[in-house]
Amino acid sequence: MRFNAEDIKTSHSRVAIVATGVVSPLGSGLNETLASLKAARDCITPVSRFPVAQCRCQTAGQVDDEKLAEIRTNRKARRLHRASHMMIRALDEALSQDGQFRPEMAVIGTTSGGMSFGENYYRALDQHHDLRHTPRWIANYPPQKPALDALEAFGVSVPCHVIANACASGTNALGHAFDCIRSGKYQRVLTGGYDTLCQLVFVGFDSLQASTPEKCRPFDRDRTGMVLAEGAAIFALENLESAQARGANILAEVIGYGISTDNHHLTQPNPSGIGPRQAMMDALQSAGISGTQVDYINAHGTATVFNDAAEGKAIAELFDRVPVSSTKAMMGHSLGAAGAIEAIISLLAIQHQFLPANINFRAGDEGVNLNIVANEPRSAAIDIVLSNSFGFGGTNASILLQRFHQRPVCDGPIAA
C-alpha cells in the first residue's frame, strides 16, 4: 500500500522482540545457527527424503531428524507431521527464553504445511497400498495443522492466522504481527513460519527449472537457480512498554514493514524491480528512516536469474552500497519459513555485530552496483537490518529490525 502526503501521523507503539526459536539446516537452536553463520557453512546436502533421480536438482537444505527426536517422545507427537515437530522445537526454544510470554494471537506463515502426508495418502490410494494410516495423514495434512499442534503442545489457545503467501509468508506473518501490535490493538503476538521438504513442491520447482543442479550462487552473474530447504522459526513480539513493565529481555525491535503485490506474472517478478522496490520503500517509510540508515540487507536472493536481477536492481536503486547477502546459499530456500528464519539471522547479525556471508559468490551482474558480503562473514557495526522475502503470486514483503535503544531513533511512519 502506498503512503500519501496526507497520511495521518500518530504515535505508534514500539514493538519488541522478546524471544525467538529456530530449527533449520543451519542447526537446531540459536547457538548452532550462529555457529554455522560465523563459519559460513554450506549446509546443502543430497536429498534423502524422497527419490530425486529424475530431477535436475538433487540437493536441499535439510533438518536432521535427530534434532527433532526429543519431540517424538510420546504417541501423539509421533503421529504428527515433521513440520509440527519443527514448530514445537522452535516454540520450545522461544518459550524457554520467556516463560511469562502470553500471546493474544498467533500469526504464522507457511506454503505447504504437512504436504508430504497428503502425498502419502495419494500414493497409498493410487497404488492400492495399506490405507490404515490414511486418517492420520489426512487429519494432519492441512497446512495450518503444524501451527495448531505447536500451540496445543504448550497449552496456548489463541486465534491463529496462518498466512500462505508463498515464499513471502514468513515475512508477511512477522509484518502483520508487527502491525497488530504497533496499532495498539494487541500487546503480544506469537509469529513465525514453517515448511518442510516434500516431493510435490521439490518436483514443481524442478519442473520450472527454478532449482539448480549446481551450487546455489545468489547474485552471482553465473547463477543457475535455487536449492530448496525446510525449517521453522518463532518470534515472540510484544508492545515495548508491556515488555519492559514485566521485565522481559528485549532482544531487538521490529521497526518497519512493507508489503506489495506485483501483478506482472504468477511466478516471475516484473524485471523493473517495482514489486521489491515498493515493499522496501514502504518498510522504510513505515519505520520513518531513510535507506542510508540501513546497515545490512538480508536479501531474498534465491539465485534464480529473474529474482536476483529484479531484487538487485531495486536494492541498487534504493540503497548506496549497503552490504547485502543472501543466506540461502548456505541453507537453501525454506519457502514459508524463509522470512522468519532470515529474520532470526538478521537478529543474530544485530546481536553479534557481523554480516552473514553470501557464499558461492564469484562476480555480480554487470552494471548492478551491489555490495555483496562475499563468501566470508565480516564484523560490522549494525544497528538496522532490512530483510526481504518475495514469492509466487507477486507477493513482496520487507521487514526492518533494529538494535534496541532505550529512546527511539525514529518516529514511525513518514509521508512519502
Partner 1 sequence: MSLHIAGMGWVTPLGRGLEKVWDRLLRGEEAAAQKVSRGAGEPQYPTFLVPKDELGDLPPHPRLRRASPISRFAAAAGLDALETARSAIGEIDATRIALIFAISNGGVIYTARFYGEVVKSGAQSASPLLFPETVFNASASHLAAILGITGASYTLVGDGAVGMLALKMAENLMTDERLDCCLIVGAEEVDWLLCDAYRRWRLLKSRPPIEPFRAPPKGTVLSEGAGAVVLGRKGPVAVDQIHGGTNFWRRNQAAAAIVPVLSNLTDARAKLLISSANGTFVDLAEMVAIHETIPDACVYSCKPALGESVGASALWQVIVAGQSLLSGKQPPLLHLATKDSPGSAEFEPTQSALVLSCGMNQQVAGLRLSI
| Residues that are catalytic | 167, 300, 333
Answer for which of 119, 214, 317, 383 binds partner 1 (CB under 8 A) is 119
Q: Which of 351, 342, 377 is nearest to 39 (CA)?
A: 377
Helix (H, G, I), strand (E, B) or coil at 71: helix
Residues near 358 by Cβ (< 8 Å), separated by ≥ 6?
Answer: 218, 219, 301, 324, 325, 326, 327, 329, 372, 373, 374, 375
Least CB distance to partner 1 at residue 5 (A): 11
Query: Cα dist. 391→32, 34, 38, 107, 209 in Å?
Result: 28, 26, 28, 18, 16
Answer for which of 2, 78, 129, 378 binds partner 1 (CB under 8 A) is 2
> Any contact of residue 142 with partner 1 (CB under 8 A)?
yes
Interface stretch with partner 1, choices 156-164, 242-250, 343-351, 365-373 (CB under 8 A): 156-164
Q: Which of 174, 210, 236, 235 is nearest to 332 (CA)?
A: 210
What's the CA gap between 317 and 321, in Å, rounded?
Answer: 10
Binding mask 324-363 for partner 1 (x = CB under 8 A): ----------------------------------------
Helix (H, G, I), strand (E, B) or coil at 46: strand
Task: Return the bridge partners of 190, or none.
Answer: 106, 236
Answer for which of 48, 96, 249, 263 binds partner 1 (CB under 8 A) is 263
> Any contact of residue 159 with partner 1 (CB under 8 A)?
yes
Answer for which of 90, 95, 151, 227 binds partner 1 (CB under 8 A) is 151
Residue holding cell 531484487? Answer: 311
Answer for which of 195, 230, 238, 262 binds partner 1 (CB under 8 A) is 262
Is 329 or 397 the residue whose CB approaches partner 1 more closely? Answer: 397
What is the DSSP-derived secondary structure letter of residue 374? B
Residue holding cell 508463498? Answer: 166
> Any contact of residue 415 with partner 1 (CB under 8 A)?
no
What is the dihedral angle through the alpha carbons of 282, 288, 292, 293, rounded to the nearest 10 degrees?
-120
> Any contact of residue 165 with partner 1 (CB under 8 A)?
yes
Query: Cα dist. 210→57, 130, 217, 307, 310 in Å?
Result: 9, 35, 13, 10, 15
Least CB distance to partner 1 at residue 56 (A): 9
Least CB distance to partner 1 at residue 325 (A): 27
Q: Which of 73, 86, 15, 333 is nearest to 234 (CA)?
A: 86
Considering only residues 207 to 236 of the shown chain, the ones binding partner 1 according to CB under 8 A are 207-209
Is 145 or 300 the residue whose CB approaches partner 1 more closely? Answer: 145
Considering only residues 14 to 33 of the shown chain, the ones binding partner 1 according to CB under 8 A are none
Give how many residues touch partner 1 by CB under 8 A.
74
Least CB distance to partner 1 at residue 4 (A): 7
The string of DSSP letters for 140-183 reads: H-STTHHHHHHHHHTT----EEEE--GGGHHHHHHHHHHHHHHT
415 and 288 in contact (C-beta within 8 Å)? no
Interface stretch with partner 1, choices 93-101, 227-235, 387-395, 398-406 (CB under 8 A): 387-395
> Any contact of residue 160 with partner 1 (CB under 8 A)?
yes
Least CB distance to partner 1 at residue 194 (A): 12
Phi-psi region of 253 (alpha: psi -120 to 50; beta: other; left: phi over 0): beta
Considering only residues 395 to 414 of the shown chain, the ones binding partner 1 according to CB under 8 A are 395
> Any contact of residue 259 with partner 1 (CB under 8 A)?
yes
Is 319 or 392 the residue whose CB approaches partner 1 more closely? Answer: 392
Considering only residues 43 to 62 of the shown chain, the ones binding partner 1 according to CB under 8 A are 51-52, 54-55
Answer for which of 21, 113, 170, 332 binds partner 1 (CB under 8 A) is 113
Interface stretch with partner 1, choices 31-39, 84-92, 124-132, 399-407 (CB under 8 A): 124-132
Answer for which of 267, 272, 351, 369 binds partner 1 (CB under 8 A) is 267
> Any contact of residue 162 with partner 1 (CB under 8 A)?
yes
The strand pair at 188-195 and 160-163 is best described as unpaired
